[in-house]
Amino acid sequence: MHPFRAAVENRDADAIEALLAEDVVFTSPVAFKPYAGRAITAAILRGVLRVFEDFRYVREIADPDGRNHAFVFTATVGGREIQGCDFLHFDEEGRIDDFTVMVRPLSAAQALSEAMGAQFDRISREAAGA
């Protein structure tokens, strides 16, 4: 099993953070502009762990050199079933330097936006304290 998938499925926020490059760029499915840096990305992902219920990966797709991965997932947020995909690029040291998430359907994306919005004060504090 891929280390990122194992960390997420085990809900191991420290292991997830250890896989992030210092200069990682996180592109959210519900925010207009990307977030840059390990501290904010790790804080956002901890928030996601808090709001997603019944999370599981259902498919993993990788290119032959292992630097690009797509992890397809399902979860529940705000009573809505959500489907999504984490698109990851790994740098030469094997750390995630680009992390893009896409989700569907729209009603679930809206529920995710609301749930993460409610987390954002805490996320900001966690990122600032890192």
Average of pLDDT values for 111-127?
A: 92
Which among 19-23, 63-67, 114-118 has the top mean pLDDT? 19-23
Given a contact cutoff of 8 angstroms between Cβ atoms, the answer to whether 52 and 75 are in contact is yes
pLDDT mean across residues, the chain: 94
Please write the tens of the pLDDT for every residue from 65-103: 889 999 999 999 999 999 999 999 999 999 999 999 999
